[in-house]
Amino acid sequence: MAFCLKGAFAIKIIRLRSRLMIFLMLGLFALTIAYFCYSVYIYGGRWVANPYNPRINNQKRYVKMGQVMDRSGVVLAYTGTDGKRHYNSSEKIRRSVSQVVGDSDGKVSTGVDTFHAQYLLGFKTSLFERVRDAVTGQEQEGDSLELTISSELSGYITEQFPSGKRGAVVVMNYKTAEVLAMVSLPQFDPVNLEAALGDPEAGALMNRCTQGLYPPGSTFKIVTMISAVDHLSNLDDFAFDCTGYYPVGNYSVTETSAHGIQNLRSAFANSCNTTFAALSQQLGYRLIGDTAGQLGFNENFMFNDMIVYNSSYPIDDLSPEDLAWSSIGQGRVLATPLHMALIACTIANRGVFKEPRLLHRIITAGGSDRILPFVAADRSVITYTTAERLEQDMIDVVRNGTGTRAALSNYTVAGKTGSAEVSNDKSVDAHAWFVGYVTDSAAPYAVCVLIENGGSGGRNAAPLARKVLQKAIQMKL
């Protein structure tokens, strides 16, 4: 054991061990370099845009901040000659895009003015542009951003939203994965920021579309349905007798009325809790968890264009009643409205998950376009046939089921309603959800409507969704 310590060292072996030592040290250096490259590549953009970064504010002294426009060119924010940030002249438009555009002081950290400050403040200007600016003596100006949202649609949504209620509406073009509208209520007026700051309880600065985590309620049955279609066999023979309650463990899952015997499609259309509770017992938390994970639950969304909080589906060992409640979107399941809209888009795209885009064009001060940053590649998260089947199920919801109020006259709408219970107190209404899309590829719009404490999804969220989709089709966005 103390072999070599008898006092005899071989120089040859010392040299060999020194090689080992230098190999290990170089390995440490390689590890450092690798971690450096990795963390800068993945998180670099976020860190630059972090509100604690003093360079952003510093740069404003030298560079004129660029404009922020919507997809039709309507100016939403610009820097005036006084050096201050000004917003659209119409208060309605200002308020309806307030959280998306944000403010330039970093109070709304996810707003475009802060999150994309690297473009607006000219961090990405090339050497050639700088030389040209220096030569012509022009004031340095940052890039202007043309967003994918439509201020007109956003204003319309704000008008149509039930007054006095809070919530979020997301409209997307599922072919291009562009976000056409992200409206979060309550809203604030960027001209009068102090009023919003003085009322933190309202949470007007928060973008509920991307940062609001709510129990999805029955809209989560889409996920459970996908899981059943993927993992269970003999679904054509599936029949379930809904008696209004389904005992699970020590509790029972209840339904407002007994639906009688149903097959899978009618259970989905009627949003029958007991059927899905029974399905969940058959599937188990692991299979549902797998499907949820594939569809983006528990995933750290590192989208290029916007910050979206992570949705969560609990994957620790659930008791049977937890499992049952989770499968119908209650319990500890949480999702953002944007994520639910993304799920709708995925089904519309036959299983292809695309990263949502907020930036339509980046226009340099000289007028030319800059290349948009790369987004993650599209990936297939559910099979084509499963998505097709889900589409039929969702069409059935709107045609025969709980979502009839979302139907359009000339277009086929596929969707799912949801009423997420949030309290044991019967006087507190459930959150009203509607998630759906227009199946016609000529009008590729997906929508997600969430009305906090809005009551029944089918009764209150679906009509709003219909109006919104109608408007989008009319505007030919």
Partner 1 sequence: MPKKREEVYTGRRMRRTEKPPEAAGSVRGKSETAGTDSRGSGKKEKSRLRPEHMTDVRKAAKQVNRNPGQARGGVTAVELASLIRRKPDFPVVLIAVLTAVFETLGLMLAAAHTQQTVGMDSVAMIAVIVPLGLFTSLILPRFLRMDALIMALTNFLCGVGIVTLCTVSPLRGNRQILSYALSLGGMVIACLAVTHLNRYHGVTIFLMIAGIGILVLPLIYGQWNNGAKNWVSMPLLGSFQPSELVKISAVFALAYYFSAHRTLIQMMPALLFSGVCLLILMLQRDLGTALIYYLSTLTVFYVACGNIPLTMLGAVGGVGAAVMGYRMFAHVKVRVAMWRNPWSDPTGGGYQIIQALLAISSGGLFGMGLGQGTPEKIPAYYNDFIFAVICEQFGQIFGVLLLAVYALLLLRTVMLSSRSRHSLTMLLGYGTAAMLGIQTFMITAGVIKLVPLTGVTMPFLSYGGSSLLSCMTMIGIVHGIAGRAQMEAEDGILLKGGIRN
Partner 2 sequence: MDAWYSVLSMVFGYLSALMILAIVLSAMRKTLTDHRTYRRVAREKRQIAYAGELTVRTGGTKKLAAGTVLYIPYEGTLGAAPGCDVVLSVRRLHLRSAFFWVDGNRMHLVPIQRDAIQVDGETLKPGDEAEMLNGAVLTVNGIGMELRIYEDHPGTREKMEDPYVTRARRAQVHKGRGKGIGSIGTAGSKKSRRQKAAENKTQDEA
Residues that bind partner 1 (CB under 8 A): 1-9, 11, 13-15, 17-22, 25-26, 28-29, 31-33, 35-37, 39-40, 43-45, 47-48, 50, 52-55, 58, 123
**Binding residues for partner 2, total number by CB under 8 A:** 19
Q: How far is CA 458 from CA 316, 455, 461, in A?
A: 32, 9, 6
| Distance, CA of 243 to CA of 241 (rounded, Å) | 6
| Distance, CA of 446 to CA of 441 (rounded, Å) | 11
Size of the chain in residues: 477
Q: Pick from 21, 131, 197, 475: which binds partner 2 (CB under 8 A)?
A: 131
Q: Pick from 2, 6, 84, 410: which binds partner 2 (CB under 8 A)?
A: 6
**Phi, psi values for residue 201, rounded to 5°:** -70, -30
| 8 A C-beta contact, residue 206 and residue 183 | no
| Distance, CA of 307 to CA of 115 (rounded, Å) | 9
* Binding segment toward partner 2, per CB under 8 A, in 12-20, 98-106, 196-204, 419-427: 12-20
CA 358 to chain centre: 11
* Binding segment toward partner 2, per CB under 8 A, in 134-142, 179-187, 248-256, 348-356: 134-142
> Nearest 5 degrees, angle CA 256-CA 261-CA 266?
75
| Distance, CA of 375 to CA of 255 (rounded, Å) | 43
* Binding segment toward partner 2, per CB under 8 A, in 39-47, 79-87, 124-132, 317-325: 124-132
The residue (of 141 and 452) whose beta carbon lies closer to partner 2 is: 141
Quick one: DSSP state of residue 141? B
Looking from the CA of 471 toward its CB, the CA atoms found within 13 Å total 22
The residue (of 42 and 376) whose beta carbon lies closer to partner 1 is: 42
What is the DSSP secondary-structure string of 103-134? -TTSSSTTSHHHHTHHHHTTTT--HHHHHHHH
**Where are the extended beta strands (E) located within 216-330?**
240-242, 245-248, 251-254, 260-262
The residue (of 60 and 71) whose beta carbon lies closer to partner 2 is: 60
2 binds, among partner 1, partner 2, none (CB under 5 to 8 A by kind): partner 1
Work out whether 10 is an interface residue with partner 2 (CB under 8 A): yes
| Distance, CA of 141 to CA of 324 (rounded, Å) | 56
Q: Pick from 70, 103, 113, 133: which binds partner 2 (CB under 8 A)?
A: 133
The residue (of 7 and 54) whose beta carbon lies closer to partner 2 is: 7
48 binds, among partner 2, partner 1, none (CB under 5 to 8 A by kind): partner 1
What is the DSSP secondary-structure string of 323-388? HHHHHTT-TT-BB-HHHHHHHHHHHHTTTEE---B-EEEEE-TTSPEEPPPP-PPPEE-S-HHHHH
| 8 A C-beta contact, residue 102 and residue 113 | yes
Q: Pick from 1, 5, 11, 20: which binds partner 2 (CB under 8 A)?
A: 11
The residue (of 51 and 162) whose beta carbon lies closer to partner 1 is: 51
Least Å distance, CB 304 to partner 1, is 15
Q: How far is CA 77 from CA 100, 132, 398, in A?
A: 11, 26, 39
The residue (of 2 and 135) whose beta carbon lies closer to partner 1 is: 2
54 binds, among partner 1, partner 2, none (CB under 5 to 8 A by kind): partner 1
379 binds, among partner 2, partner 1, none (CB under 5 to 8 A by kind): none
134 binds, among partner 2, partner 1, none (CB under 5 to 8 A by kind): partner 2
198 binds, among partner 1, partner 2, none (CB under 5 to 8 A by kind): none
Least Å distance, CB 3 to partner 2, is 8
- Per-residue binding letters, 48-67, with partner 2 (x by CB under 8 A): --------------x-----
Least Å distance, CB 140 to partner 2, is 6
The residue (of 2 and 442) whose beta carbon lies closer to partner 1 is: 2
Least Å distance, CB 304 to partner 2, is 25
Least Å distance, CB 116 to partner 1, is 15
| Distance, CA of 226 to CA of 129 (rounded, Å) | 51
Which residue reads 């036959």 in tokens?
350
140 binds, among partner 1, partner 2, none (CB under 5 to 8 A by kind): partner 2
Least Å distance, CB 59 to partner 2, is 11
Pairing relationship of beta strands 251-254 and 245-248 according to DSSP bridges: antiparallel
Token pair in block for residue 466: 């219909």
Binding site for partner 2 (CB under 8 A): 3-4, 6-13, 16, 62, 127, 130-131, 133-134, 137, 140
